[in-house]
Structures are given as C-alpha cells and as structure tokens.
Structure 1
Amino acid sequence: MTAMTPEEAVRHVLATDPTFAIQDVDVRGVTVKAFQNIPGTVPALLAAGWERHGNGKLDYLSYEDETLTYAEFTEAVYRMAHAMQDELGLGKGDRVAIAMRNYPELMILVLAISSFGGVVVFLNAWWTTEELDYALQDSAAKAIFADGPRMDRLLPLREKLRLTLIGVRDGEGRTALDFNALRQGAASDIAPEVEIDTDDDFAVMYSSGTTGHPKGVVQTHRGAVNAVFSWLLQSVIAPLVEPPEEGAPEPPRPSALVVTPLFHVTATHPLFLLSLPAGAKITLMRKWDAEDAVRLIRDNNITRLLGVPTQSAELMEAARRMGETLPSMDYIGAGGAKRPAAQVAQLAEVFPNAGIATGWGMTETNALGIGLIGDEYKARPEVAGKLHPPVQELRIIDDDGNAVPNGTLGEIAVKGPHIMRCYLNKPEATAQTVVDGWLRTGDLGTLDDDGYVTILDRKKNIIIRGGENIACLDVEGALHRHSDVLEAAAFPVPDDRLGEAVGAMVQLREGSKMTLAEITAFLDGHLAKFKTPTHLWTQHTPLIRGATDKIDRRAIRAACLDKQEAKV
C-alpha cells in the first residue's frame, strides 16, 4: 500500500467510510460541520462499542485487583440508572454530582446519569468544603455521589443545601444511601427508555478562569460524541499514513492507562469515552506512581498513556531505572500543559515503539483541539500541533475578532459542534467567549502556512500546575482573607517537575511579617492544596501598577523572579 499524507487519508476515509460522513447542521443558530452517522448521545456510545468489545465478553475496566467485562460494566450502568430513577426520583434534566477519586464507580455513574437524560456535574476531588459549596449552589445539584474524603467535606453542607448524599467505597455507611445497595436493588438491567436529543446537556465541568470562582462549562451530547469520533478518525487514518509492513501481525487491542483525574476532560473524553467505540480496555490507577505505572504497562500490555508532561517525564525516568522500554506502548501523549521541547527526543529514545504526542484542547471544546505525533512532533517540538479534522475550524484573531494573516500573533479561536453550550449561570461571560459560534480561547499564538499552531502566551491570568488550571484571582482572593494582607498578586513560577508552580507577592500591613509556612497554614481549608503558593515574596509598599493603576501582574512576576535568580 502506498502511504498517504494525513490530508489525503482524511479525504479518503470521509469519501469511503459512512461512519465518518459529515454534514452541515444548525447548532444554536450557527452552521457547523458535524458527523452525520455517529451515535447521537454519550450513553449510545455503550451500544456502539458492544461488538468491538467482543460482544461484551472482553475485559473492559481494571482497577487494582478488580476487573469488569464490558457486559458487566454495561449492566452496572443500567442498573444504577434505574436505581436513580426509581429510588432517588431523578429524571431527565436533573443534575447529579460526582465527587471522588478515580474509582470504577465514577465511570459507571457518568453513563448511568446520562442514560436517563440526567446531567453529570463533575466536582474537583481536591476542592475544599468552601469550593464545593460554591459549585453545588451554582449547579443546583441535589444528589451527590461521594467517597470518604469528599463525604467529609460535603457533610457540613448537607442541611444548608438540602443535599442527598450517596456514599461510594469508603464513603458508604455515612448516610442512609449507599452506591452498592442502590445498584443491587435496581429493578432492571436494560437501558432506560428516555428520549435524549443530541443537543441536550450532557455534563457540567468546572474550569478555572480569571474571575476567581470556577466557571461551569456546559457540554452537550453532540459536543462530546463529535469530539470522540474526531479522535477515532485518527486511528483509522494512521495505517493509511504509515502502512504496516507486509505480513506484520495485527495490532494489539488498544488499552489505556488513566493517570489523570476523571473530573477533567483529559481523562474523560479522549480516554474513557473514546474507549467505548474504540474497543479499548481501561486501567485505573489509585494514585500516580511512575514505577507502578511502568509495571502496569509492562504486565498488562497497555498501549496508550495520556497525562500531563510531568507524568511522561517521570515514567521515562522510572523506565530507565528499571531497564524497561515498554514495547506495547504505541502512544504517549501530553495535555494540560506544554511539554519541554528537549523531552520529546528523549522520550522517543527511551520508548522506541511509541508515538510521542502532544495535544491542546479545553474543557470548553470537549478536549478536542490540535495535536501532533511521531516524527512530525520530533521535528517541531515547539509547536502545539495541527487541527484535528474534520469538523473543527480554527483561526487566529485580533482584539476585534478579525482573522489575522498567517504568522501574526493573535488569539486562537475555534468553531464546531464540539463547542460548549454556555458557562452555567454566566450569560455575560458566555457572550464574551463565544461570538458568532467562535470560541475565543484566551490563548495567544500563531498559525503558519502549513497549518501548524504555536501557542506563545495566555491572555488569561491562569497558572497551569501539573496540568491543573489555577485562577490567579482565586489565589489572591484567599490571600486577602488574612488581616495583614493589603494587596496580593499571584503568578506562575517555572518549575522543572510541574511546569509551573504558584507564586505570590503580597503587601503586608506596616510592622507585620509573614512566612511561607504561616500563609500555608492560614490557607488550609480555604484553598485547595494544589492552589496554595509555594513561593512567597512580601513587602510593605504597594505592588507595582500599570498605566491604568491596575496591579501589573507581569511586572511583579518579573521582579520576583529576578530576585529569586539573584539569590541563586
């Protein structure tokens, strides 16, 4: 077979495979391209993947010493869906929250909730009680499934918010309702008969922004499934771009190791949801440990890992120590933050069978965006990637929303069926972000004549710590709770392991002093630990301001980093 270019391969598949046929559709008054023949909803992905999972017989979900076949997983989904309808009185449009670490129950619940037309509310498992309070009031979710640590943080809110709390794993026995009892008492194990429109809401995922409080990103079924099939298309064109050698064995069944939280799109969409129609097995880790990951990949023939750059770097170092090359791996991707350019070639050397990849997407885009893999990525380790075809559009715009010439710095804007419906309860923020169907991402970059996108900066005041977005205003708001803090500015500090760490400069009241240990202790319970500053600078004079008399965060950051470098 003669190798095709990626563009030729996409055109060939679109012309010959009805699964990936596209059409123009109207979504909220905007005409976009969308897949014509794919499942219309997220729960419909379960049935779409049945044959690929050995008609339900193949092992699908593994967690420590637990394994579920695809049929067992599907039965658990439908039983829980009926239990929520019959025992909890939940129905179409109701928002149901999930607050837990990466347990199998989380995956079951996502599909169970969406199976009866409910809306999944993903709660960050690292949030404090105060942060959970905000999200639960914002989402109006009344039923929350929680494990032990999250239950501890939710119980103080139960009476105030009139919450129905259902215990999962170590959260069972804390309230009158438990996950296992509900599932076992279900009256049916077949799919609920509910009409769900493809443009109905599927989920609310919270994404940190520049306004302090996180914004609830409302995703639709259409958005999620179009993202899933855009990634599935990549696996279909791969053998057309790089044809296998004659007589080569069939590629192994895809198998993914989930190493990032399932309350973020990096894990839910291109790993969990994609695994359904792709026929892939899913393995969950209780907690990230690089050497454990090496052993899991080696012993279970895992083919795919997608995490933050820190994790692939740590995996590489652990594999070197253990003398492993992990030949089953065909994909090692990074999202959530930019991978250091020098690391690309190093990863390719340690894992010669794997395609080293990078990707960029947002909660607001159902994680779909741009990416690059293999030799293309090794040759251009500084770029963010090319647009994943075929339903997206991308352009670089100026402040007025006009497209700028290739090579010109501007804001990245994307359009397609995968764009969020809105920010929950924030019409003004929605109107500012989505204009005529184009999502203004807040990321600044350039587009060259060959379609490669380079991301150079952020308009948004966000720190990306190990792939976790942290709003600077969120950190500053918590710092201002301290009676001795007059002003505060939070900003990213370069970090070799995490990419960025949280730094802060504060103006203190005259005569007061503050150490990093003291502010860390003060913020405990007010701010999630991953948001707490690990670098602190203090002064008794006002912070640097710009021409409009606003605090100049960039100038403050530069001055603090200069001081830090001078000490070194």
Structure 2
Amino acid sequence: MPHTDPTPAAASAASPSSTDSPSAAAASAARIDAALTGPGAPFAVVRAQDGAQAGSLVYASGPRTLREFAETTWAFGDQAFLIGAERSYSYGEFFAAASALACRMTEEYGLRPGDRAVVAMRNHPEWQIAFWAAQLAGLVAVPLNAWWTEGEFAYALDDCEPRVLLVDGERLPRVAAWAEKAGARVVVFHHRDGAVPVGAERYDDLPAPDPLAAPPEVEIRPEDDATIMYTSGTTGRPKGAVATQLAQVGAALNPRFHAAASALGRGVIPGQGPAPVTLMTFPFFHVAAFTSFYAAMAAGGSLVVMRKWDAEEALRLIREHGVTHYAGVPVTALQLLAAAERADDRLESLQMLNTGGAAAPPDLVARLTARYGERIEPRNGYGLTETSGGVLANFGADYRLHPGSVGRPTPVTEVRITGPAGEALPEGEIGELWLRGQSLVRGYWRDEVATAEAFTDGWFRSGDLALVRDGRVSIVDRIKDMVIRGGENVYCVEVEAALHEHPDVEDAAVLGVAHPALGEEVAAVVRLRPGATVTADELRAHVGRSLAAFKVPAHVLVRDEQLPRNPTGKILKRELRGVVDEEVGALRRSEEGA
C-alpha cells in the first residue's frame, strides 16, 4: 500500500478554475461532498506520497485490492448476482466457482501472481467468474474485445503474452492457433460441439466447485498490476492500459460515492431499500461495464445479462426481473425509450437510466422527462480506459438542468483545464481536460513512449476539449475532431447535439471535410427516424436557428443504414470520412459543372 499523508486532503476534487461564488446547485453539491468525504466519513480522502498514485488523492479507507473487494461479496450468499439466459448464479455460487477456477489456475496450471490471464467471451455470466478467478489468483486480467478478428486478437496476445486464455466457444477458433504456438492453457466456456485443442479443456468438464472452498493463498499488493485493458483503437492500434490493484479498487469505490451523493440529493439515506437490479447491456470487456458491475457488487445487486442487444427483449427482461437500473450506451438507451413508447410500456420498475461509453445527446434526458416525469433518475458521466471507468457523473435534477454536462468529479479525481502549454485556464474557458486520481492507470503496457506522451507529473492528458463552470465539467469535443473553418473553431459535439434536437433525427455524426479556401468546412451524416420526411436543407435551417452560421453544416448527407459504431457506442468517423469526402467532392464537381 502506498504511504499516504495522514492529513486529509480537500474533501472535493475541485478544478483549479472553481469560483468563490458557486451557484446554489454547486453549493448543495459541496455540502453533500463534505458530508461524504470529511474526516471519518465513508469516502474520506488523503494524498498518496509514493507508488504509482504518488501525489494523487486516494480513498483513506476501503479495500486495497480487488481480491479484498470480491471477498466482501461472499456475505451476500444466496442473493442473486448473475442472471443469464441459460444459467444464473447467486453470490455464493459465483464466489465458489471463481475460487475453484483460481485454485485450478495456480495448482494445476502453475500460474503465479503477475502472469496474464486473457478473458474473451460474450456477456455470459461466466465472464465474471473468469475475471474474478484471475483476481483471486493474483493474475493480471486482460479483458479483450469479443468482436475482434483473429488478426486483432493475435496483435493483443503477442503484446501481453498471457499464460492462460479464458474464452467462449465462439472465440476459440480465433485464438486457438496462437495458444497452441505459445503453449498457453485454454479454458473454454459454452463450447458443446467439436473437440478442443491440445492444452485446452471445457469449463463444463471441470469438477463442481466446493461451496466451502477458499481461494488460493497468494500475496497480492495494492501496487501490483490488476488489469490490462486495451483502448478502443479508433485512431490507431490499441494500447494496453495498465491499472494497479489500488487503481481498480478506486474505480470500484467511485460509483459507490456517486450513488451515495445521488441518494442524499434526493433526501434518501444511502444504502436503504432493496438491492438494485441492473440490466447490463455494456459489453463486459469495456471499461463502462466495470463501473456498472462494481456498483452492483458493492450493493449486493443483481446483473441481468443480455447476450446481444435487442430493445424489445430488453423490455421483456425489465418486466420479468423487475429491473431498477438500466446501464448502456446512449444509442441503446434511445432505442429502449422508443420501444417502450411504441409498446406503451411505462417501465414501472425502472428507477435509473444510466448511460456511458459515448457522449449522450442532450435530448435523451428531455425525452425521458417528457414521458416519465422525474420518476426515473437520469445519469450520465465521463470515463476512459485510462481512468478505469467513470470519474465524473451527472445525475438527477442537476442533469435535467444541465443535460450537456458530464457532471462533477469523484473525491479522488482532480480536474484541470489546460492551454497549449499545459497552463491552467480560467473558469469557463475551453481547453484540454487533464485528470489525476486514484483510478488512473499507471501507463501503457511495455510502451514508454506512449506513456510519456499521455502523462505529465501524474496528470493524464485526455485529448478531450472541455470547460468547467461551478465545478461542473462539459466535454466540448475531441481535439482531433474539432473542425477549423476559416480560422473559426467548430466543435462537432455541439453541432451533433443541435441535429439531435430535431424530432426526425435518430442519429448524427459531424466531421470536417477539406475546403480549398476555408481549410475545412462542416459536414454531417444523418440517419432519420422511420417515416421522417425532413430534408437536408430543413436540417441545416434547424441548426442555424441555434448556432452561428459558420457552424451550420455545409453538407448534410442522409443515410438509411445505421452509422458505424464500435462496441462502446462511439461513432467510427474514420469509416465515414472516406465516403463523405467522396460524396462532397462529387457534389462540388456537379455544382461547378452547373
């Protein structure tokens, strides 16, 4: 455990640009913050003096390793934890299964703390057994994108060199050749047909777990590596972001803090009432899922697991299991609300709609409020692979008032808005968002150059443009996505939000295209709702009513098909760019010819 300063640090991770006269909402948030983070409070913080988190704020109490965090869930016993289509697990059954697999990996496979264990499968309940078995054994869990091709898997496997692969039958053909060549052990889940390769065994063939057996006796330290999570790779080859045990337990405590702050904001004592039932639609390998399942496990809640997203099936599961919390990317949340409207489903059990993984259009909370009033609490936030999940959150009344914000930081997250030279900018000015805190990764796996480029004196440079007002952070755009039109900055997120406000727009992406005189001009790709008749010119006029003329897309291209997205819900603009450049070029040539 890193040495910490015994003097409690500031109760809130305030931005350097905070003001002396905060708004009433900010003052209320500060009072709640103080109640939760003061000396002796459950989320009190101190400043670490050494280790990977040196200089950062860390929680003063609570678990210091993921094994400690997991061991506390054993107390939930027969409460339902994982609810799948084929098999469900109580907390007791889950912990016994994870302990048995952890013992097998240490005793039978000879794995030792620090060895890497890849987890690659769909959102089966057994994904959680595999991941937590790795943590109970002191291994470094490496969740890989289940959508990857064989070549993409091979790149990551060569990079992290795992000694064991925990995969489902669908992923097995994509990793089997690598495993055989490397001599890695393989455990295959949900594989009923065909033989398994040499060195592999079916999980279903392993001995039944002993419900009284303990996990293996291994030493796990807070400074040890816990996970390697590969970035989404939207701008190049994925990099392996390495989080320590202390960083991941910080990530596990962050959603607990926001849940407590939300409860106090509603006048409710935190922790009272029945355990939450969460419909999990994030892929488990994505960092947004970690925020959700950490929150569920801390409260003894249940995770209803979807194998594949389907809005109508989601409605059925919500009704069948009395789902209280929805967790997913904004596009699936919008589809859920649309399906509920078509079915006249009042979502009676739902108490929270939580989105992450991609920017939420401001009209999402407006649509939720228009149909359900204030009964369902909206929540969104901000997090990255490099922050091990959500570190900012916006919820409840504050979210309804400020739907374009991603909220306020956790107590162990410090925020800085910087100019080109890394200087702190005043309140309200747009600059790059820098972050520092307990849950940040220590760097990139075996990549000192990338680590040095991303981190400065413990601060992570996010690459996002943002501003802070009254302690509330708003993300403006990705630095690389900003369009510079004739010297004027156009933030794509702002234009996308304006397009989303039109009732006929289902999805939208804004990007820059080259222009001989202006340098760049703004283009938009739009998918309309079924039956919509709005024209491109009408959409341009709609944007022009709320934004300056230079921000209005010069070109609006309407699509029937869904816009390309990665598994986390982010639009893949690189896949759109070539097609957009071609279409815009054809339009210009046509206009010149006319």
Same fold, judged at TM 0.5 (above): yes
Q: How does 1:168-247 map to 2 (within 5 A)?
A: 168-170=189-191, 173-175=195-197, 176-182=200-206, 184=208, 189-209=213-233, 212-244=236-268
Which region of structure 1 is more displaced relative to structure 2, 341-350 or 17-26? 17-26
State how far apart, in whole Å, the 1-side matches of 2:378 and 2:216 are.
Answer: 41
1:345-391 deviation digits (Å, cap 9, x = unpaired): 1112334421112111001001132221122212222222222x211
Q: How does 1:39-118 map to 2 (within 5 A)?
A: 39-51=63-75, 53=76, 56-118=77-139
1:67-104 deviation digits (Å, cap 9, x = unpaired): 21111111011001001111211111000101110111
- 8 A Cα contact 2:97 2:209, kept in partner: no
State how far apart, in whole Å, the 1-side matches of 2:40 and 2:394 are.
Answer: 24
Aligned to 2:364: 343
Q: 1:457 aligns to what SS in structure 2? A: strand
State how far apart, in whole Å, the 1-side matches of 2:71 and 2:220 are.
Answer: 15
One-letter identity of the residue aligned with 1:9: I
Aligned to 2:391: 369
- 8 A Cα contact 1:210 1:460, kept in partner: no
One-letter identity of the residue aligned with 1:394: V
Q: Using a 3 Å threshold, how does the CA distance of structure 1 residues 187 and 317 change in structure 2: closer, same or farther?
A: closer
Which region of structure 1 is more displaced relative to structure 2, 234-243 or 291-300? 234-243
Which region of structure 1 is more displaced relative to structure 2, 295-304 or 185-194? 185-194
State how far apart, in whole Å, the 2-side matches of 1:116 and 1:130 are.
Answer: 29
One-letter identity of the residue aligned with 2:145: N
Please report the RMSD computed on the Cα atoms of aligned residues, expressed in angstroms.
3.2
Q: Using a 3 Å threshold, how does the CA distance of structure 1 residues 170 and 29 change in structure 2: closer, same or farther?
A: closer
State how far apart, in whole Å, the 1-side matches of 2:71 and 2:185 are.
Answer: 30
State how far apart, in whole Å, the 2-side matches of 1:142 and 1:319 are.
Answer: 46
Q: Using a 3 Å threshold, how does the CA distance of structure 1 residues 141 and 244 change in structure 2: closer, same or farther?
A: closer
Q: CA deviation at 1:433?
A: 0.5
Q: Using a 3 Å threshold, how does the CA distance of structure 1 residues 381 and 497 change in structure 2: closer, same or farther?
A: farther
Q: Using a 3 Å threshold, how does the CA distance of structure 1 residues 160 and 347 change in structure 2: closer, same or farther?
A: same
Aligned length, in residue pairs: 484
Aligned to 1:21: 44
1:191-219 deviation digits (Å, cap 9, x = unpaired): 22111111211111110347621000111
State how far apart, in whole Å, the 1-side matches of 2:476 and 2:448 are.
Answer: 29
- 8 A Cα contact 1:137 1:161, kept in partner: no
State how far apart, in whole Å, the 2-side matches of 1:188 and 1:210 are.
Answer: 45
Q: Using a 3 Å threshold, how does the CA distance of structure 1 residues 367 and 343 change in structure 2: closer, same or farther?
A: same
Q: Using a 3 Å threshold, how does the CA distance of structure 1 residues 83 and 326 change in structure 2: closer, same or farther?
A: same
- 8 A Cα contact 1:43 1:115, kept in partner: yes
Aligned to 1:11: 34
Q: Indicate yes or no: 2:341 matched with 1:317.
A: no
Aligned to 1:484: none
Aligned to 1:422: 443
State how far apart, in whole Å, the 1-side matches of 2:378 and 2:177 are.
Answer: 45
Q: Using a 3 Å threshold, how does the CA distance of structure 1 residues 57 and 564 change in structure 2: closer, same or farther?
A: farther
1:31 to 46, 55, 58: 55
State how far apart, in whole Å, the 2-side matches of 1:217 and 1:461 are.
Answer: 23
Aligned to 1:384: 406
State how far apart, in whole Å, the 2-side matches of 1:24 and 1:497 are.
Answer: 50
Structure 2 unaligned regions, length at least 5: 1-24, 483-491, 497-510, 512-521, 530-570
- 8 A Cα contact 2:59 2:250, kept in partner: yes
1:506-564 deviation digits (Å, cap 9, x = unpaired): xxxxxxxxxxxxxxxxxxxxxxxx979765757xxxxxxxxxxxxxxxx9599569769
- 8 A Cα contact 1:259 1:285, kept in partner: yes
Q: Using a 3 Å threshold, how does the CA distance of structure 1 residues 186 and 563 change in structure 2: closer, same or farther?
A: farther
State how far apart, in whole Å, the 1-side matches of 2:138 and 2:344 are.
Answer: 49
Structure 1 unaligned regions, length at least 5: 466-471, 473-490, 499-529, 539-554
- 8 A Cα contact 1:147 1:171, kept in partner: no
1:400-424 deviation digits (Å, cap 9, x = unpaired): 2111111222100000111101111
- 8 A Cα contact 2:96 2:210, kept in partner: no
- 8 A Cα contact 1:24 1:34, kept in partner: yes
- 8 A Cα contact 1:80 1:186, kept in partner: no
Q: CA deviation at 1:9?
A: 1.6
Q: How does 1:214-363 map to 2 (within 5 A)?
A: 214-244=238-268, 251-267=273-289, 269-352=290-373, 353-363=375-385
Q: CA deviation at 1:163?
A: 3.3
- 8 A Cα contact 1:253 1:280, kept in partner: yes
1:127 to 126, 144, 148: 148
Q: Indicate yes or no: 2:463 matched with 1:439.
A: no
The alignment's TM-score, normalised by the length of structure 1, stands at: 0.78
Q: CA deviation at 1:425?
A: 1.3
State how far apart, in whole Å, the 2-side matches of 1:456 and 1:532 are.
Answer: 17
One-letter identity of the residue aligned with 1:43: R
One-letter identity of the residue aligned with 1:292: E
Q: Using a 3 Å threshold, how does the CA distance of structure 1 residues 66 and 142 change in structure 2: closer, same or farther?
A: same
One-letter identity of the residue aligned with 1:61: L
- 8 A Cα contact 2:73 2:91, kept in partner: no
One-letter identity of the residue aligned with 1:282: L
Q: CA deviation at 1:327?
A: 2.3
State how far apart, in whole Å, the 1-side matches of 2:573 and 2:424 are.
Answer: 38
Q: Using a 3 Å threshold, how does the CA distance of structure 1 residues 313 and 394 change in structure 2: closer, same or farther?
A: same
- 8 A Cα contact 2:117 2:165, kept in partner: yes
Q: CA deviation at 1:276?
A: 1.8
- 8 A Cα contact 1:76 1:189, kept in partner: no
State how far apart, in whole Å, the 1-side matches of 2:437 and 2:340 are.
Answer: 40
Q: 1:208 aligns to what SS in structure 2? A: coil
- Taking every aligned residue pair, what percent have the same amino acid on both sides? 31
State how far apart, in whole Å, the 2-side matches of 1:497 and 1:221 are.
Answer: 45
State how far apart, in whole Å, the 1-side matches of 2:267 and 2:299 are.
Answer: 20
Q: 2:318 aligns to what SS in structure 1? A: helix
- 8 A Cα contact 2:262 2:395, kept in partner: no
Q: How does 1:535-546 map to 2 (within 5 A)?
A: 535=576, 537=578
Q: Using a 3 Å threshold, how does the CA distance of structure 1 residues 347 and 92 change in structure 2: closer, same or farther?
A: same
State how far apart, in whole Å, the 2-side matches of 1:211 and 1:440 are.
Answer: 16
- 8 A Cα contact 1:30 1:436, kept in partner: no
Q: 2:48 aligns to what SS in structure 1? A: strand
